[in-house]
Structure 1
């Protein structure tokens, strides 16, 4: 594998059958693709990045005002070197900020989906970041529709399963690395927890995907593409028909190591009470069920948060 497939999502309307086949095949074979033609304006993305950079430039004591204690980083700020990839000894070289879905505070999900925290120091933070959240949520739902069709499910199969999903927009800052030969990595090898991830900012160097031959393949895109990858919840739900692929963000060398890196992954998650038992259509004689026991998406999430030392 030299690169990941690039797909124009406008073909979902103009050439649906072919697009669905290419999308499903990408997630069967590689677990990654890049998407163009998504309609999210470059201006919105740039304005969101500006707000992100302004937040992470704040003094630490200001950022810590937005750390929500006891909530496993569900919303707000998580400081540097806290999250540790499953199975790894050293914490990742990153700090981040989580923005989630705005739901009524009398919702049945309110206890496990906290209200967002909005930095008072940055005037346009809420407007720009939540506009990007909603745009990525819409794009993610279109991609899920294509993935459902590939499995011969109705195109709206996921609609009522993600409409109150605990999806997160993660605003990521990898600070400059000022010491050579550190054992930590910006993001050690891992698979994502959720259904699918949409990554804004993959034109920056550093992201690598583990190919089937166990080699690491650098991923870079042009600035108008969004990288989409399969995650563990959907791998489980589809009984490994779709594969969740390991990926990492490696440390740069030389002068590039002395510069910050920013990215914005959107982790699309189902409603907290969605059952993740493998779908009947994905269990066959050739592909028997690989999972036992029943798990909701919230139970799965909490298991994984313990694995990465967020709980």
Structure 2
């Protein structure tokens, strides 16, 4: 049976050539790869989960003190239950979430807006910022390995992402209410940014769609970092790296009565960065994306599709 491989991220320094080859093979086949020894401290993860769980346990009125309007793109603060809708679906996902961006955000910037912080949870900000920084560092290592696999210099992405609108999303999937069916926790979708990092979801449910059309569960050990290709990287690599469809399926049995929490980190390029197919990724089939587009314009298109940006 197929299984997304788990690689020791330390091997990028100690066994680079073999590690990069294995990473490249995983991304070309699955669009996903898992990593152990990624450098994100267990305590940082646990503290963030505890802080986010306390936020979601608050009343709806209290949570909405940190809400933003759809016109703002949902890029910061709280987005309520059953708001985000996959672009291939008309039924909203069974989730609520909180977005944390780069801090500090430039005042008045229409994209990199300042963060919103829950007024009644003073520890929330410190734990969120610690996880954001840790995820960003780990993502930088993965991007260096990806660059090496693509025949680029290892620091290729450093100046591409140094002030991008990367987002940490604290996600809460409440216990399943039969009245909400046939909706699912997260309908089949692809991610938008360059890569998505996900560490330590509290419950199973993540599945990817293989090239054979079957749903394959991600069976990662606790503490493993799951990193998948986003649409921007797929476009940049001219589909050499696929942005794989994935979902969070509803659990069966006792799992349906438990909340699920996860903390994906969407590592994004700088808003002015022009996404065009890398020359080394244009093969016999030609350029699938002949029209370049800025990261900002691409992001806005996709946010409108998933109902997080007003049309």
TM interval, short-chain normalised? over 0.9
Which residue of 1 is the match for residue 235 of structure 2? 236
Pair 165,60 (structure 1): closer, same or farther in 2 beyond 3 Å: same
Which residue of 1 is the match for residue 167 of structure 2? 168
- Separation (CA, whole Å) in 2 of partners of 1:222 and 1:122: 31
Which residue of 2 is the match for residue 20 of structure 1? 20
- Separation (CA, whole Å) in 2 of partners of 1:146 and 1:140: 10
Tell me the secondary structure at the aligned position of residue 123 of structure 1. Answer: coil
Pair 82,24 (structure 1): closer, same or farther in 2 beyond 3 Å: same
Alignment deviations for residues 157-205 of structure 1 (CA, whole Å, 9 cap, x no partner): 0111100010000000001112267011100000100000001224621
Choose which of 294, 297, 302 in structure 2 pairs with 1:296: 294
1:199–1:264: 8 Å Cα contact kept in structure 2? yes
Which stretch of the first structure deviates more once superposed, 173-182 or 58-67? 173-182
- Separation (CA, whole Å) in 2 of partners of 1:181 and 1:168: 28
Which residue of 2 is the match for residue 68 of structure 1? 68
Tell me the secondary structure at the aligned position of residue 170 of structure 2. Answer: strand
Tell me the secondary structure at the aligned position of residue 197 of structure 1. Answer: strand
Which residue of 1 is the match for residue 128 of structure 2? 129
1:203–1:220: 8 Å Cα contact kept in structure 2? no
- Separation (CA, whole Å) in 2 of partners of 1:51 and 1:72: 24
Corresponding position: 1:223 with 2:237 = no
Which residue of 1 is the match for residue 307 of structure 2? 309
1:204–1:220: 8 Å Cα contact kept in structure 2? no
Instruction: State TM-score, norm by structure 2.
Output: 0.96
Task: Give me the CA root mean square deviation.
Answer: 1.4
Which residue of 1 is the match for residue 101 of structure 2? 100
1:94–1:172: 8 Å Cα contact kept in structure 2? yes
1:202–1:227: 8 Å Cα contact kept in structure 2? no
2:193–2:266: 8 Å Cα contact kept in structure 1? yes
CA shift, 1:253, in A, is: 1.8
- Separation (CA, whole Å) in 2 of partners of 1:267 and 1:257: 27
Alignment deviations for residues 193-250 of structure 1 (CA, whole Å, 9 cap, x no partner): 0000001224621110111111001112111211110110000001011111000001
2:105–2:115: 8 Å Cα contact kept in structure 1? no
CA shift, 1:68, in A, is: 1.8
Alignment deviations for residues 53-103 of structure 1 (CA, whole Å, 9 cap, x no partner): 000000000000101223110000000000000110100000000000114
Tell me the secondary structure at the aligned position of residue 176 of structure 2. Answer: coil
- Separation (CA, whole Å) in 1 of partners of 2:240 and 2:174: 37
Pair 192,104 (structure 1): closer, same or farther in 2 beyond 3 Å: closer
Runs (4+) of structure 1 exceeding 4 A deviation are none
Which residue of 2 is the match for residue 91 of structure 1? 92
- Separation (CA, whole Å) in 2 of partners of 1:40 and 1:155: 21
Alignment deviations for residues 110-153 of structure 1 (CA, whole Å, 9 cap, x no partner): 33111001112112111111100010001101101111111111
- What pairs with 1:262-281 in structure 2 (closer than 5 Å)? 262-281=261-280
